[in-house]
């Protein structure tokens, strides 16, 4: 486990953000269900997406790495013969659970200690209403699912995670009957559902949305498709906020036509007083006087840690709201983010769906991110606005979504060094 000290710096340079983790998961699963060969170009290869690939192989898909792409031969599927280990990947666990409901043999899915604290109840309840047998530890992993799921009408609570809905959507074309999914209550993270539906259509499925009702034609399956994974806007947010805090940073190879909700970071930085210029596929953010503002993060919860850092030292008060689902991420992100901001001298008060920030000069300090990759990276960027260093352990956790983060950020001016333990500290 590597401990590091981040000491700010003057930011100037260009970064090509990593491929989208969300798109990579979906592409691997869709290609595995499609009968034939698909090529997934430029995927994010991380612990999370490798867990999805392992799950795909367990149900009969074959894949191989080939010069920066993954070639997948799918379609001849069967129930996995052993327990699926999703490791720390909530996306793998949730998306895969719905797909496994089409099998008539029980499938078990589990993960590490952190993953076993993430709720699955609403998805399991929805599957049971479709005639699927589900077992769990009071709605938490490990979960056991036995179909076959025949399709039909289903209702599901939409306020905790859009991944439950995406899970049902992805499975639906593989089921014998049409599926109609009604989302009850608030539908959070809607752009992720748009990404799911768009990618399903690329692989030949017929899916539509009318308000909070999704309809998917059953019995069609998927067809092979060669798909290139786009760069990730949630990852691009880190260098862009670094530029807004301390210089100029450019994220290139960004597709603004993609339905990723996290491209909202452009508007958020502008509303906070930062300068942002868009030139084709290049986005550049530059330092200016930052001011507090209110931001609804209901559709873009992954931006919460880095937007909190952006506004922690801005003039005035800011309110981040609309995202109660943050309590159920890799950590309770509302608590972990506000603890992080306060640990480095900020003034953050948690709320049920976000936090209140009162801008002030940050002093730096030692933070605890609980292995949450987005909080680790946000804290590193926060050092740009701090009088002193920001220190933390387990900086390797950024590999979940942005494996090259330390090197890329160092290249554009973020200063960092590894902290060496003394013998007494190691003992």
Provide the annotated active-site residues: 302
Using alpha carbons only, give the angle 240, 241, 246 rounded to the nearest 5 degrees: 100
Angle between helices 21-33 and 47-58 (to 10 degrees): 10
Taking Cα atoms as reference points, which of 386, 384, 385, 406 lies closest to residue 395? 406
With 0-12 / 13-18 / 19 or more C-beta atoms within 10 angstroms meaning exposed / middle / buried, residue 199 is: buried
- 149 Cβ neighbours under 8 A, 6+ residues apart: 101, 102, 127, 130, 131, 132, 171, 175
Encoded tokens for 343? 């640990």
416-418 and 4-6 beta bridge pairing: antiparallel
Query: Other C-beta atoms within 10 Å of 332: how many?
Result: 17
**What is the rounded distance in angstroms from the CA atom of residue 273 to the CA atom of residue 269?**
6
Determine how many CB atoms are found less than 10 A away from the CB of residue 137.
11
- How many beta carbons lie within 10 A of that of residue 411, not counting itself? 12
- The number of residues in the chain equals 427
**Which letter, b or e, does each residue of 321-331 get, where b requires 16 or more Cβ atoms within 10 Å of its Cβ?**
bbbbbbbbbbb
């Amino acid at each position: 486990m590597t401990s590091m000290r981040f000491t700010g710096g003057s930011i100037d340079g260009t970064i090509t953000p990593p491929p989208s983790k969300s798109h990579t998961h979906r592409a691997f699963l869709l290609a595995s269900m499609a009968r034939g060969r698909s090529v997934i170009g430029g995927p994010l290869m991380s612990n999370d997406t490798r867990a999805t690939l392992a799950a795909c192989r367990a149900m009969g898909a074959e894949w191989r790495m080939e010069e920066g792409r993954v070639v997948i031969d799918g379609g001849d599927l069967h129930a996995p013969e052993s327990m699926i280990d999703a490791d720390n990947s909530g996306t793998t666990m949730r998306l895969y659970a719905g797909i496994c409901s089409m099998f008539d043999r029980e499938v078990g899915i589990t993960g590490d200690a952190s993953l076993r604290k993430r709720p699955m109840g609403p998805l399991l309840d929805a599957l049971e209403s479709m005639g699927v047998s589900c077992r769990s530890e009071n709605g938490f992993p490990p979960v056991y699912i036995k179909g076959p799921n025949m399709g039909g009408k289903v209702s599901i609570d939409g306020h905790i995670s859009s991944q439950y809905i995406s899970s049902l959507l992805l499975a639906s074309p593989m089921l014998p009957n049409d599926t109609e999914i009604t989302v009850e209550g608030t539908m959070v993270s809607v752009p992720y559902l748009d990404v799911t539906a768009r990618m399903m259509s690329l692989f030949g499925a017929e899916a539509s949305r009318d308000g909070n009702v999704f309809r998917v034609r059953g019995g069609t399956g998927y067809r092979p498709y060669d798909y290139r994974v786009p760069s990730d806007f949630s990852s691009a947010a880190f260098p862009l906020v670094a530029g807004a805090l301390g210089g100029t940073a450019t994220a290139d190879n960004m597709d603004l036509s993609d339905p990723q909700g996290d491209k909202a970071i452009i508007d958020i930085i502008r509303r906070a007083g930062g300068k942002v210029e868009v030139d084709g596929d290049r986005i550049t953010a530059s330092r200016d006087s930052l001011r507090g503002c209110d931001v609804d993060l209901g559709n873009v919860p992954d931006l919460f840690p880095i937007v909190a850092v952006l506004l922690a030292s801005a003039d005035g008060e800011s309110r981040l709201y609309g995202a109660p689902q943050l309590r159920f991420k890799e950590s309770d992100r509302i608590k972990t983010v506000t603890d992080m901001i306060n640990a480095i001298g900020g003034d953050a008060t948690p709320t049920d769906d976000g936090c209140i920030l009162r801008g002030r000069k940050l002093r730096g300090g030692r933070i605890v991110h609980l292995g949450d990759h987005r909080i680790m990276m946000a804290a590193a960027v926060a050092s740009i606005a701090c009088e002193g260093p920001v220190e933390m352990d387990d900086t390797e956790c950024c590999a979940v979504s942005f494996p090259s983060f330390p090197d890329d950020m160092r290249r554009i001016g973020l200063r960092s060094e590894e902290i060496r333990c003394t013998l007494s500290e190691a003992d």
